């Protein structure tokens, strides 16, 4: 009995121990689980604090911009890149609702610089920021503008289709399928009580949290304040640079802008034109009808200029009845068309009492008539007053006498080549070229003809390249103080130096496989063919022949056909060699892809002192001025 009693006591004690252990285990488990929960809460609060901190930093950036009185475009660009980068959104943009004579449309004022938009731009074949987008009354944009509330949409494809309805369905599908964006958050923007536009945020999440909504509302208010302040800054700035009577830019702004345009034109090797306009008979209008009607005539000129100018053109009142218009990227031919359009528009205006006004107009083009801006302004004035002397109400193109001779020589040379080598060129092309030489502006016709002839043996040659070559070659020649007659010879030589290729078989010039030694030697003959077979019979270009004959001679004597070296090579021939090499590198060939300008310059620099004069390379690189 004692045995069983002892066993029972032991069992009871074991049970008590087990109960104690189990109870302790439960306590430990509860503590462990509470710790895990606390860790999660701490992690969540830390994440929320980080987000709040980033939001505060973003808002601080906007506040700093407002205090700095930065221009509106700069403010908007900084805003979209700040929120996109700091808060992890995939893409952001600011869209404005605009209106013109054709109705309402949308335009992207600013957008974040990210891979998402670059991909879309590539798929739709052009930057969306340069497009005039459609405004649809049933779109999310109309909805948020009306409700003045943030809206979220998961229909990314439909939203894009609403602003670019012409986008093909297969392209739209590729845009949406390949995008990490799951939703668009659309926030309406108002400035000074007026609807300004929308702030769009492309998110990788399909939902919009309450905290996020609060922040975006606060963010939108800061954007609106920034827009208001920047807009006021622009207005104050505009008052300082605009003419009070007409609203056009004043002389001070024109002169400052002109300096920037000259820098851009030289860097990009792209011409721009100036239209000079002088209102006819303003004194008679003032004397006969009074100064109020004189002011009306001046304001009418300004309105005509505004209506007929592109968004990138700059029109200014220079004082009194004189006006100037800068046309970026426009050559003399295009400027003449624009000037004539202005003349006709002004002539057709119907005014009270005065009835009708006219203007005398002159046109000059930077890098065509001169690369000295003071000369261009003088030539514009001369052309304008030539219009006055010839009876007023007309347009005159500046024609420096100093440039007439080389053009006439080149035109006559081309006509001679066309007549004597019609078989190689082809009758249809030959007649077309003759027509252009006889009817178009001389210099432009020469560039066009040289491009057309080059394309007969090099189909990959692009229009406009010859003109760019001439401008670059002339800039180099001036760096070495070559006299004017040598520069004129160089211009003609640039037009003609490859003319010997007309006599070579097309299948040889367009061959995609490696050349044999015999074929390579045949191609090397083209300078001699140009010099001896095509140009030698033409008496007017005898001084040009040595330049062309030696344009493949290398600085170290390794070139052809004469293996002359260093100063034996005419400087004009050296210039043609480096200009030709550069454009050959950046143009595609049947046997290779084109290089970028920066890559081409690096190739040229590698052969300094060997293929070309080191001093020439140094000046060439300076002129090209490639952005890093």
Q: Which residues are catalytic?
A: 321
Q: DSSP string spanning 1-30?
A: -HHHHHHHHHHHHHHHHHHHHHHHHHHHHH
* 242/254 Cα distance (integer angstroms): 10
Q: Which residues touch 230 (CB under 8 Å, ≥6 apart)?
A: 65, 66, 69, 70, 71, 72, 74, 75
| Cα 116 off chain centre by | 21
Cis (ω within 30 of 0) for the bond into 561?
yes
C-alpha–C-alpha distance, residues 434 and 438, integer Å: 6
In angstroms, the CA 201 to CA 85 distance is 12
What's the maximum distance between 2 C-alpha atoms anywhere in the chain? 146
Q: Does residue 253 contact residue 241 with C-beta atoms inside 8 Å?
A: yes
260: which residues sit within 8 A by CB, 6+ positions away? none
Q: List strand residue ranges (DSSP E) for 103-182, in order.
A: 103-111, 133-134, 151-153
CA-nearest of 333, 371, 375, 318 to 477 is: 371
Q: Which residue has the tokens 């920034």?
A: 226
Sign of torsion over alpha carbons 571, 576, 579, 584: negative
């Amino acid at each position: 009995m004692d045995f069983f009693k002892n066993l029972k006591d032991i069992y009871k004690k074991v049970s008590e121990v087990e109960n104690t252990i189990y109870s302790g285990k439960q306590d430990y488990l509860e503590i462990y689980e509470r710790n895990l929960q606390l860790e999660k809460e701490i992690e969540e609060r830390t994440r929320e604090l980080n987000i709040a901190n980033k939001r505060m930093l973003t808002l601080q950036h906007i506040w700093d911009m407002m205090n700095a009185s930065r221009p509106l475009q700069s403010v908007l660009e900084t805003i979209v890149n700040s929120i996109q980068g700091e808060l992890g959104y995939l893409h952001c943009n600011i869209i404005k609702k605009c209106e013109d004579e054709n109705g309402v449309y949308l335009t992207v004022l600013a957008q974040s610089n990210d891979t998402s938009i670059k991909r879309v731009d590539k798929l739709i074949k052009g930057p969306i920021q340069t497009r005039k987008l459609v405004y649809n009354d049933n779109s999310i944009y109309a909805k948020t503008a009306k409700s003045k509330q943030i809206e979220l949409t998961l229909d990314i494809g439909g939203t894009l289709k609403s602003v670019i309805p012409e986008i093909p369905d297969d392209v739209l599908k590729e845009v949406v399928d390949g995008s990490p964006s799951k939703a668009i958050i659309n926030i309406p923007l108002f400035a000074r009580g007026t609807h300004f536009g929308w702030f769009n945020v492309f998110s990788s999440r399909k939902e919009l949290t309450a905290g996020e909504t609060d922040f975006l509302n606060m963010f939108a208010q800061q954007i609106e304040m920034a827009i208001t302040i920047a807009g006021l800054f622009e207005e104050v700035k505009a008052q300082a640079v605009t003419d009070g009577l007409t609203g056009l830019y004043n002389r001070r702004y024109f002169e400052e802008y002109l300096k920037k345009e000259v820098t851009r034109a030289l860097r990009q090797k792209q011409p721009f034109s100036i239209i000079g306009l002088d209102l006819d008979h303003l004194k008679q209008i003032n004397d006969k009808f009074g100064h109020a009607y004189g002011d009306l005539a001046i304001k009418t000129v300004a309105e005509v200029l505004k209506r007929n100018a592109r968004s990138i053109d700059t029109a200014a009142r220079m004082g009194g009845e004189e006006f100037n218009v800068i046309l970026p990227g426009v050559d003399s031919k295009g400027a003449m068309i624009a000037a004539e359009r202005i003349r006709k528009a002004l002539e057709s205006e119907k005014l009270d009492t005065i009835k009708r006004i006219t203007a005398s107009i002159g046109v000059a083009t930077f890098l065509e008539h001169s690369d000295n801006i003071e000369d261009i302004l003088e030539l514009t004035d001369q052309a304008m007053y030539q219009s006055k002397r010839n009876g007023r109400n007309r347009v005159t193109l500046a024609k420096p006498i100093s440039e007439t001779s080389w053009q006439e020589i080149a035109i006559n040379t081309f006509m001679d080549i066309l007549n004597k080598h019609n078989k190689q060129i082809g009758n249809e092309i030959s007649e077309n070229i003759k027509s252009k030489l006889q009817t178009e502006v001389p210099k432009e016709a020469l560039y066009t003809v040289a491009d057309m002839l080059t394309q007969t043996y090099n189909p990959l040659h692009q229009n406009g390249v010859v003109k760019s070559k001439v401008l670059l070659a002339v800039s180099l020649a001036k760096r070495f103080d070559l006299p004017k007659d040598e520069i004129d010879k160089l211009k003609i030589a640039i037009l003609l130096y490859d003319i010997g290729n007309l006599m070579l078989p097309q299948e040889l010039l367009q061959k995609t496989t490696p050349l044999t030694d015999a074929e390579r030697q045949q191609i090397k003959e083209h300078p001699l063919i140009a010099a001896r077979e095509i140009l030698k019979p033409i008496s007017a270009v005898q001084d040009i022949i040595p330049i062309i004959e030696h344009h493949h001679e290398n600085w170290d004597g390794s070139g052809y056909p004469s293996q002359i070296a260093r100063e034996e090579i005419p400087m004009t021939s050296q210039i043609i060699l480096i200009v030709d090499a550069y454009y050959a590198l950046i143009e595609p060939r049947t046997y290779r892809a084109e290089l970028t300008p920066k890559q081409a310059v690096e190739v040229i620099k590698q052969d300094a002192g060997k293929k070309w004069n080191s001093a020439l390379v140094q000046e060439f690189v300076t002129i090209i001025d490639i952005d890093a």
